[in-house]
Amino acid sequence: MTETTRARKTAKPNLVGMASDEIAAAFAPLGEPGYRARQVYAGVYRKLWRDWGRFTDLGKTLRDELRVRFAIEYPAMARTFDSRDGTRRYLFDVGDGEGGTPSGGSGGRVEAVFIPEESRDTLCISTQVGCARGCRFCATGRLPFRRNLTAGEIAGQVLALQADRGAATKRLNIVVMGMGEPFDNYENVIRALRLMTDGDGMGIPPRRVTISTSGVVPGIERLAAESIQPNLAISLNATTDAVRDRLMPVNRKWGIAALLDACRRFPLAARRRITFEYVLIGDVNDSPEDARRLARLVGDLRQKVNLIPWNAVGADGSGMKPPPPGRAEAFAQILAARRITVNIRKARGEDVAAACGMLAGRESATPM
C-alpha cells in the first residue's frame, strides 16, 4: 500500500459537508444523547469552530474521542490576493480526488472572492474545478473540466471566507458565480444550499443566495421544484441564437427561446425577479439593436438586467475587446427607456484577477 492510499483509507470523516441528520447518524455509535450532535453541528456551522479545543461545552473526554474520529476541515486555502479596492481573491487547493487530498501540483485549484460594498459583503464561490461549458469569453471556460466540488467544498468556501472576514455586521450575500456551471453539479450545489441556509447552522436566508447558470434548462426546471428557493441568475449574453451559439456552446443544446420559456415557467415568489446577466463585448453584442432585442426578449418577465462590461482575460486569439467608452451607458439607457431595471456592474478586484470571468486558479496576482 502506498503512503497516499493508506492516508486516504484512514482519513477521518469530515464534518464540514455533513448535514445535521448525518452528523446525528455518525454520532449514534458513540451512545451520546442526541443534543450532543446538535451542539457539534452548531459549533461547526454557526460558531465556525475548527479546533476541537473550542468545544468546551462537550467536556474533555468526549472532545478527545471526537478528535480521533472526526475532522473539521475547510478547503485548504493556498493563497489570498488583495485588490486595492478591498476585494480579496482566495485560491484553494482542493486536490485531485473527491473530498480533497492536496494536489500539490497544477490541478485542484478553485477560487472564491470576497467583495466588500458599502451596505453589504458579497461572497462569490465556485462549484467545479474548471468548467465543461467552454464559453469563449470566460477564463474558467478555457480550463479543462476536472471534477465537481463536493457539498462540503462548496459550503466550506463560505465557512472559510466567513472565518477570515471575522465578526461582521454587514449583510451577507452569496453568489454562486465563481468557477464552474452550478447545474452541471446539481446535487452537490443543492446540498450546499441546504447547509448554507439551515437556520440551526449557517443561517443564510435563501433570498441572499443567488445561483447563476449559463442556461442549463433541466437545472432550472429542477430548481423550480426545490423547497428552498434562492435567486436565479441567467447568463444570457446575446440576443440572437447565431451570436449566442458562438459565445456559449450551451446554446446549441438549449437555445434562447427554450431558455426563456424555462424562465417564464419558473415559479417566482412575491417580490422576486430573475436576474439576466449580459456581458458586453465590444462590437459583438453591444449594439443598440441588441439592446432593443434584449428588451423584447425579457420584457414580459419579472426581471432585472445586469450589464457586465467584458473583463479582458488574456490573449487567446478570440479578438474580443471590452465595449468602447459610453457603449454600456447607451445600452442601459435603451433598456431603461423600456422600463427594465438595469444596472452596470462595476468591475471589482481586476488588479488581482478576481473580477467576473477572470477566475482560473491562478497562482500569480495578475491576470495575464
Task: Tell which one of 66, 279, 307, 334 touches ligand SAH (CB under 6 A).
Answer: 279
Q: Name which of ligand SAH, ligand SF4, none residue 279 binds, using a CB cut-off of 5 to 8 Å depending on partner kind.
A: ligand SAH
Is residue 210 close enough to count as binding ligand SAH by CB under 6 A?
Answer: no
Q: How far apart are CA 241 and CA 229, in angstroms?
A: 29
Q: Which amino acid is at 150?
A: T
Q: How far is CA 260 from the centre of its chain?
A: 22
Catalytic residue among 111, 153, 277, 350: 111
Half-sphere exposure of 183 (CA within 13 A, CB side): 21
Range in contact with ligand SAH (rule: CB under 6 A) among 43-51, 207-215, 223-231, 327-335: 207-215
- Measured from the CB of residue 295, what is the shortest distance to ligand SAH in angstroms? 19
- Measured from the CB of residue 227, what is the shortest distance to ligand SF4 in angstroms? 26
Q: Which amino acid is at 184?
A: D
Query: Which string of DSSP letters, residue by residue, matches 181-206?
Result: -GGGGHHHHHHHHHHHH-TTTT---G
Range in contact with ligand SF4 (rule: CB under 6 A) among 45-53, 133-141, 306-314, 324-332: 133-141
The three-point CA angle 195-197-198 to 5° equals 70
Is residue 295 close enough to count as binding ligand SF4 by CB under 6 A?
Answer: no
Is residue 237 close enough to count as binding ligand SAH by CB under 6 A?
Answer: yes
Query: First-to-last CA distance in the chain?
Result: 42
The grid coordinates of residue 118 equal: 458599502
- Measured from the CB of residue 320, what is the shortest distance to ligand SAH in angstroms? 8
356 is catalytic: yes
- Is 275 strand, coil or helix? strand
Is residue 275 close enough to count as binding ligand SAH by CB under 6 A?
Answer: no
Q: CA dist 356 to 59, 115, 288, 360, Å?
A: 46, 12, 24, 11
277 is catalytic: no
Task: Tell which one of 14, 87, 214, 229 touches ligand SAH (CB under 6 A).
Answer: 214
Q: Which residue ranges make up the site for ligand SF4 (CB under 6 A)?
A: 131, 133-135, 138, 140-141, 180-181, 214, 235
